[in-house]
């Protein structure tokens, strides 16, 4: 029997997510405010308050300048809007450079928001941070493969898992994060063969983005999937509707109605 019907009826917990591996695909989407979180509430298993907000919400070129204060502020908004999905706060660049900083900042995330987990980017080299957080009762979502916070040090966004050596390295990353206590792992921008090898190698769920069908779940950035973010469109983004076009058409309609004194008509007047 399926754990979920199409609409998620109960509060999603870490236990729910753990039980979904191999049983039912996990749905995750980003949200940055209460308005959209409310629209997604009950329709997805997880919401990620991603540091991608630095690009799509704040208009910066990359995610690197997001701060923990910003992530807390947006997570508070998302928690105000959604009560059912498992909510994850994305730890920004520079907020988990060592165990002490990581525990201090993630503790703020738990104390100042209702997020049930935090996400950090990095493989085996960050396993000690995942361990420190887990040992301090903070649930961690890992993130391996293409990691946007490594953009400058890697010299660009690079697809991973293109050969056997890199696949083996990604599998090692995933195993190290699982051993350190991560409850699930986001796998971004990897060849589908690599995502399958990772998913098969661990007992915790993988959540793919640009990683093919073989992950245990999928995540997309809301402003990409609904066509509001126009700066670039990665191959993996399915645009479910053209939000930007819809908004422009209707803002033009509003402007024309105001200019021609069609709005507000009697219907909208006290």
Residues lying near ligand KIV in the complex (CB under 6 A): 30, 48, 50-52, 90, 186, 188, 209, 219, 221
- Find tokens 């507000």 and name the residue: 264
Question: 43 vs 263, which CB is nearer to ligand KIV?
Answer: 43
CA 71 – CA 25 distance, rounded (Å): 27
Distance between alpha carbon 1 and the CA centroid of its chain, in Å? 27
Residue among 125, 188, 230, 266 flagged as catalytic:
188
Question: 84 vs 225, which CB is nearer to ligand KIV?
Answer: 225
173 marked as binding residue: no
Say if CB 85 and CB 12 are below 8 A apart.
Answer: yes
45 marked as binding residue: no
Question: 90 vs 173, which CB is nearer to ligand KIV?
Answer: 90
Question: 110 vs 222, which CB is nearer to ligand KIV?
Answer: 222
CA 269 – CA 176 distance, rounded (Å): 63
52 marked as binding residue: yes
| Token pair recorded at residue 217 | 């779940």
> What's the min distance (Å) between Cβ of 65 and ligand KIV?
13
Angle among Cα 136, 141, 144 to the nearest 5 degrees reads 125
> What's the min distance (Å) between Cβ of 118 and ligand KIV?
12
> What's the min distance (Å) between Cβ of 253 and ligand KIV?
32
> What's the min distance (Å) between Cβ of 12 and ligand KIV?
17
- What lies within 8 Å, CB to CB, of 175 at 6+ separation is 201, 202
Question: 7 vs 55, which CB is nearer to ligand KIV?
Answer: 55
Q: Of the candidates 132, 34, 128, 42, which has an alpha carbon nearest to the alpha carbon of residue 75?
A: 34
Which residue number places its CB atom closest to ligand KIV?
Answer: 50
The length of the chain, given as a count of residues? 270
> What's the min distance (Å) between Cβ of 262 and ligand KIV?
40
Task: Assign residue 210 a region (left: φ > 0; alpha: ψ between -120 and 50; beta: otherwise).
Answer: left
| Token pair recorded at residue 267 | 């219907």
121 marked as binding residue: yes
216 marked as binding residue: no
Active site residue 125: no
Distance between alpha carbon 2 and the CA centroid of its chain, in Å? 24
Which residues are known to be catalytic? 188
Which residues are annotated binding-site positions for 3-methyl-2-oxobutanoate?
51-52, 90, 119
Which residues are annotated binding-site positions for Mg(2+)?
51, 90, 121
């Amino acid at each position: 029997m399926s754990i979920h019907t199409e609409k998620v009826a109960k509060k999603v917990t870490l236990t729910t997510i753990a039980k979904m591996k191999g049983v039912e695909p996990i749905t995750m989407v980003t949200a940055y405010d209460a308005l959209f979180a409310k629209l997604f509430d009950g329709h997805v298993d997880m919401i990620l308050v991603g540091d991608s907000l630095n690009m799509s919400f704040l208009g910066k070129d990359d995610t690197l300048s997001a701060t923990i204060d910003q992530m807390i502020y947006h997570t508070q908004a998302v928690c105000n809007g959604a009560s059912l999905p498992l909510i994850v706060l994305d730890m920004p660049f520079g907020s988990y450079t060592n165990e002490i900083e990581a525990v201090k900042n993630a503790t703020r995330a738990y104390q100042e928001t209702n997020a049930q987990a935090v996400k950090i980017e990095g493989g085996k080299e960050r396993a000690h941070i995942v361990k420190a957080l887990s040992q301090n009762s903070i649930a961690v979502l890992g993130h391996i493969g293409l990691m946007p916070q490594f953009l400058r040090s890697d010299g660009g966004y690079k697809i991973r898992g293109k050969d056997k050596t890199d696949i083996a390295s990604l599998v090692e990353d995933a195993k190290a994060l699982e051993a350190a206590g991560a409850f699930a792992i986001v796998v971004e921008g990897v060849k589908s063969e690599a995502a399958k090898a990772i998913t098969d190698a661990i007992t915790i769920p993988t959540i793919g983005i640009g990683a093919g069908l073989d992950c245990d779940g999928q995540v997309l950035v809301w402003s990409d999937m609904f066509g509001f973010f126009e700066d670039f469109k990665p191959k993996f983004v399915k645009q479910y509707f053209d939000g930007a076009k819809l908004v422009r058409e209707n803002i033009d309609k509003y402007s024309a109605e105001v200019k021609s004194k069609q709005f507000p008509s009697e219907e909208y007047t006290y």
